[in-house]
Amino acid sequence: MAALTPLPLAAIELTGGFLGRLQQANSAMSIPRGADHLERQKAWVNFDNVAAGVADAEYHGPCFEDGEAYKWLEAVAWDAGRTNDPQLLEWLSSYSRRIAAAQDDDGYLNTFVQSGQRAGRYERLAWDHEIFNAGALIQSAVAQFRATGLTGLLETATRTADHLDRTFGPGKQEGTCGHPLIEMALVELYRTTGDSRYLDLARYFVDVRGHDLLDPTHAYGDAYHSDRVPVRDTIVPEGHAVRAVYLAAGATDVAIETGDLQLLDQLRSQWQNMVDQKMYVTGGLGSRWEGEAFGDPYELPSDRAYAETCAAIAGMQWSWRLLLATGEGKYADLIERQLYNAVLPGVSLDGDSYFYANALQVRAGAVATDTRMAAGGRQHWFGCSCCPTNLMRTLGSLHTYLASSSEDGLQIHQFASATIQADLPVGQAVVTMETAYPWSGRVTLTIQDSPRASWGLRLRVPAWATGATLQVGESTLAAEPGTYVHVEKSWTPGETVVLDLPLTPRFTAGHHRSDSTRGCVAIERGPLVYAVEQVDQADAVVVDDLLIDPTILEEEYDEELFGGVPVVIARTIPRQPDPTAGDQVPLPPVRAIPYFMWANREVGPMRVWLPASNPFG
């Protein structure tokens, strides 16, 4: 039923540029350091103790520690597929063997329960993450198979899926996991093996929710577990943000594979309501620390924003599935917004420390009473390491979000320096893309190889890109924001297509229903949301006291800042001008940098939303 088809893993290669350097930093720093952290946390010792049959062995980490190990191993798989690095391949083989050795004969695998932390299996479905861990195992195994062709972990994961299929479903044990993930995993296993049992089980796990089969007694209630309302009746995501969006992504997979248009339409409506009512300007999701949850519509406090990194990653996964299902550019727009402004803030520029929650404001004198708080700066690791491991696997597979194919040609969704090969119905096309995006808005595509028959090339024009143009040969075409510009012809190797996206800095007004942003403006430039950090300001400019003139924005290029960054300059005005004074010396200008770069020098006052004098009249 999908309108678009994802390209094979090896069909897209980042060749440098901004996203290429991100992926390289992930390979060089984040993944190796992740290996060290997991070893120190003794995540793998849990598997070894179970395999060795150690009675009353000490268990290490939270009940979902297996899942964090699997997510890290998925990141290793994506990197191994790109690089064929011997160390990565050895990790895949050795850790896969340790995982397999801990599996029970009937396919059950969960070291928390197997270590004796529970008297039996599936006693606390709402809390113990047994099925979640199985989902992470399946995702890791499918990634390893697709990236490298290795089948060892896939065999282990398939046995686990078979165990779940024998255990859960109509006429069997009723219920599902308190933390969704298995739904996406089972559909990917179905796509990999062709076994429809896994698709049927995924559909069961989607439809069983909202029927009060999980623990309703916890303070956060059924919504926390995505179990208050059936998926097919859900109007807008609620409860724990990561869980709710993972569930929606898995349900979208089910809708695509079963041709369930009614379910797909409901999910599209749910996505739109989330974007309109429950999403930060950064693309961050989840406004309440209590329950790591979505709040009420337009409840989006800047200083108390939770905006968990994992929730933004889940949002990218959901939007990717809706993009493939529909071909509509708004889903690719959100992937871009969340990548640059809600995912990337979660990792430091050197790839070695992380934010769990991503506040949009830190006040002077703020004290971090929790390692997740932005006021404490990025941390090298967390006891719950979901955000670091999730970031690693996302950056490792980042190139897969760039392009897709369909019956009528090739679609470019994200902009990066890359080589793209697509097997189209009329033959193979090879296209290179060169760009300094997101710093520059010029994207040049060169046809390297093409079948003789005509085929279509579609390029996304972001909704913010007013004045965009497309040049094909000697012709320059207007490119309407929020659409895909389409050129269909018989291509000749060497032909170029140039998309120019104006990156003029702009103000965005806060929504009048959101108390935290009413009367405020945010600064954006191209796909990037900007933030004002105290460290960049003159002494007379106090971030906590800003009042912005919302009519003037300029920019300058700072070669010394992080290797070179466009800085946006705003004007600030006194909050209480002296009416008796003569000509007053204007306050120094306000300097804003990309939000994802904040807290890479020091942690101090910062804000995204800036109070404005009479914003937009």
Report pLDDT digits (tens) over 268-294: 999 999 999 999 999 999 999 999 999
* pLDDT at position 574: 84
Q: How many CA atoms lie within 13 A of 375 on its CB side?
A: 15
Mean pLDDT of 174-199: 97
Based on the number of CB atoms within 10 Å of its own CB, is 379 exposed (0-12), middle (13-18) or buried (19 or more)?
middle
Query: 588 preceded by cis ω (within 30°)?
Result: no
Q: How many C-beta atoms surround the C-beta of residue 511 within 10 A?
A: 16
What is the percent of the chain with per-residue pLDDT over 90, rounded to a whole number? Answer: 93
The secondary structure of residue 481, as a DSSP letter, is T
Report the alpha-carbon distance of residue 320 to residue 3 in Å, rounded. Answer: 12
For all residues of the chain together, what is the average pLDDT? Answer: 95
Q: Is the pTM of this model over 0.75?
A: yes
Rounded Cα gap, residues 343 and 118, in angstroms: 35
Tokens of 337: 């917004």
What pLDDT, on the 0 to 100 scale, is given for residue 578?
A: 60
Does residue 581 surpass a pLDDT of 90? no
Q: What is the pLDDT of residue 221?
A: 83
Residue 18's closest CA among 413, 417, 375?
417
Instruction: Give the count of beta carbons closer than 10 Å to the beta carbon of residue 83.
Output: 12
In the numeric block, the tokens 């019956």 are attached to 407
382-395: buried (b, 16+ CB within 10 Å) or exposed (e) per residue?
bebbbbbbbbbbbb
For residue 553, pLDDT beyond 80: yes
pLDDT at 217 (0 to 100): 65
> Strand ranges (DSSP E) for 298-416?
361-362, 403-406, 409-412
C-alpha 606/C-alpha 532 separation (Å) is: 5
For residue 531, the model assigns a pLDDT of 98
For every residue of 201-242, DSSP letters joined together read: HHHHHHHTTTSS-S---STT-GGGGT-SS-GGG-SS--SBHH
Higher pLDDT, 574 or 481: 481
Set 292, 308, 434, 524: catalytic member: 292
**DSSP assigned state of 113:** I
User: What's the confidence (pLDDT) of residue 448?
Assistant: 98
**215 vs 124, residue with greater confidence:** 124
Q: Check residue 40 and give its pLDDT.
A: 96
Whether residue 58 is predicted with pLDDT greater than 80 in this model: the reply is: yes
Structure tokens at 599: 């807290």
Parallel, antiparallel or unpaired: strands 409-412 and 455-461: parallel
> Please, which pLDDT band fits residue 615 given cuts at 50, 70 and 90?
low
Of 442, 498, 452, 506, give the one whose Cα is nearest residue 474.
498
List Cβ neighbours of 541 (8 Å cut-off, separation of 6 or more): 572, 587, 588, 590
Does residue 32 register a pLDDT over 90? yes
3-state secondary structure of 23: helix
CA nearest neighbour of 377 among 408, 414, 345, 343: 345
Helix, strand or coil, per DSSP, at residue 185: helix
- Asked whether the predicted pLDDT for residue 381 surpasses 60, the reply is yes
Phi, psi (degrees; rounded to nearest 5) at 551: -115, -10
315-368 pLDDT per residue, tens: 999 999 999 999 999 999 999 999 999 999 999 999 999 999 999 999 999 999
For residue 292, indicate whether it is catalytic: yes
* pLDDT for residue 481: 97
Q: Is the pLDDT confidence value at 203 over 50?
A: yes
Catalytic residue among 63, 177, 310, 386: 386
Instruction: Fill in the amino acid letter for 535.
Output: V
Contact predicate 325/1, CB 8 Å: yes
Confidence of residue 617 (pLDDT cuts 50, 70, 90): very low
> How far from 121 is each of 52, 112, 172, 187, CA to CA, in Å?
20, 10, 14, 24
Q: Say if CB 533 and CB 598 are below 8 A apart.
A: yes
Phi, psi values for residue 134, rounded to 5°: -60, -40
**pLDDT score at 171:** 95
What pLDDT was estimated at residue 366?
94
Q: Regarding beta strands 409-412 and 403-406, do their DSSP bridges make them parallel or antiparallel, or are they unpaired?
A: antiparallel
Cα separation, 554 vs 581, whole angstroms: 28
Distance between CA 602 and CA 375 in Å, rounded? Answer: 10
What is the reported pLDDT for 580?
Answer: 58
Return the pLDDT at 584: 60
pLDDT band (50, 70, 90) for residue 577: low
pLDDT for 56 equals: 80
Q: How far apart are CA 573 and CA 554, in angstroms?
A: 16
For the four alpha carbons of 58, 60, 65 and 69, in that order, the dihedral sign comes to: negative
Least confident of 211-225, 406-420, 438-452: 211-225
List the structure tokens of 527.
């796909």
Question: What would the pLDDT profile of 79-131 be if each residue is shown by its tens digit?
Answer: 999 999 999 999 999 999 999 999 999 999 999 999 999 999 999 999 999 99
Is residue 582's pLDDT more than 60? no
pLDDT in tens, 391-426: 999 999 999 999 999 999 999 999 999 999 999 999
Q: Which of 308, 325, 306, 213 is nearest to 258 (CA)?
A: 325
Task: Tell me what the mean pLDDT of segment 292-317 comes to.
Answer: 97
515 confidence band (pLDDT: 50, 70, 90): very high
Instruction: Please give the single-letter amino acid code of residue 53.
Output: G
- Residues 6 or more apart whose CB falls under 8 angstroms from that of 583 comprise none
In whole angstroms, give the CA distance from residue 90 to residue 535. Answer: 44
